[in-house]
Amino acid sequence: MSYVRVATEEAYAPPEMVAMYLELLDQPGVDPGFESLMGFYLRSEAEKPRTVRRRLQDLGEERLADMDAAGVGHAVLSLTTPGTQILDPARAREIAVIANERIAEACRRRPDRFSGLAAVGFEDAPSAVAELERGVKELGLKGLICNSHIKGHYLDEERFFPILEAAEALGAPIYLHPQTPPPAMIKPLLDAGLDGAIFGFGVETGMHLLRLIVRGVFDRFPGLKVVVGHLGEALPYWLYRLDYMHGVQVRAKRYAGSRPLELKPSEYFRRNIWLTTSGMAWAPAIMFCREVVGADRVMYAMDYPYQYAPEEVVAQDALPISPDELRRFYQTNAVDLFGLDVPSQGPCGRGRS
Ligand code: 1DF
Ligand code: MN
């Protein structure tokens, strides 16, 4: 049985946003997480960040050649973190439109190789709803990218509900992607070099997803679909304890902000949440996640260009799962979730099991 490898967390940065970031980095009082992350990727002269910042801004030949070399047939593109979520509302709207136009153009040019997610400026919810609807209905984008917190705010706040409502109504999955932790959380991570992808990303994003669960977002929007990378930002490993402790504290009425839910925390992982393997090409962890959330909810991602590691494709081709499941992992889970149009014929990015 053959399959097309569909990579689902693939980053793009419009040059216009890179220019804004460089300007922001020069301002006094810049967000420490932003400075740590984008100060490194945009200013360091080391080889890795130089390569990353070139690849990030390309949606053409270099990206396609890298996909070919790694055996990736189709990439779901999204605006790199922190995307619009560090910008003021006017600039956030402007960059969202630029990113959406640019990604949609790449998808029109190579519909066989690219799909994309819409970016929005979250702080202005009415305009975010309009841009999400335009992105999905007019530009053919397949979901919404949310680069975790919005200046220290989380999607369980009512001000963001119109965006969640629109995503649910459109059937558009929200990819909850990491960002460096906000000022209120970053200090003990930053001084040990743990604020970024090594750990801080996962702590902050896992907490964000957990907030959505325990604050009842999935009871309010039962059809909402959330995709989370890095095999669920460690939460699958916690599910037993989350269920147990959540039950205890709700029964004891310990917290005003921790109320009864319609389902156990773990059950939302089998109804509303999908996982990708970005940055976690590690068979024992993938096999564990598949066991606890179900094989139809775990799918492949590369995290290009940040983790462009073709050998990780080789490792995931060798997962100890059936040929049918390997095809779901690489191709059909993503096609079904995002509603992708991935050609099943053609030479690009195919594997055989
Ligand atoms: C890194 C990792 C950077 C991921 C990313 O965007 C990113 C990194 C700035 O390694 O610094 O998306 N990631 O998702 O793991
Ligand atoms: Mn990523």
Residue 346 pLDDT: 63
For tokens 């047939």, what's the residue?
73
- Mutate which of 148, 303, 304 for ligand 1 pocket (most atoms within 8 A of beta carbon): 303
The confidence band for 1, taking pLDDT boundaries of 50, 70 and 90, is confident
* Percentage of the residues of the chain whose pLDDT score is greater than 90: 95
- Round the average pLDDT of the chain to a whole number and report it: 97
Rounded to 5°, the CA angle 134-83-195 comes to: 150
Residue 352 pLDDT: 81
- Ligand 1 pocket residue status of 42, Cβ below 6 Å: no
Structure tokens at 40: 């490194």
Residue 129 pLDDT: 99
Q: Which domains does the chain have, with CATH numbers?
A: 2-350 (3.20.20.140)
pLDDT in tens, 104-119: 999 999 999 999 999 9
Please provide residue 175's backbone torsions phi and psi, each rounded to the nearest 5 degrees.
-90, 110
The answer to whether 303 is a known catalytic residue is yes
For range 277-284, the mean pLDDT: 98
Cα 318 to middle of ligand 2, angstroms: 23
Q: Which one of the ligands is nearest to 13 CA?
A: 1
Look up residue 295 and give its amino acid.
Answer: A
- Ligand 1 pocket residue status of 200, Cβ below 6 Å: no
pLDDT in tens, 64-96: 999 999 999 999 999 999 999 999 999 999 999
List the residue whose alpha carbon is closest to atom 6 of ligand 1.
Answer: 81
List the residue whose alpha carbon is closest to atom 15 of ligand 1.
Answer: 197
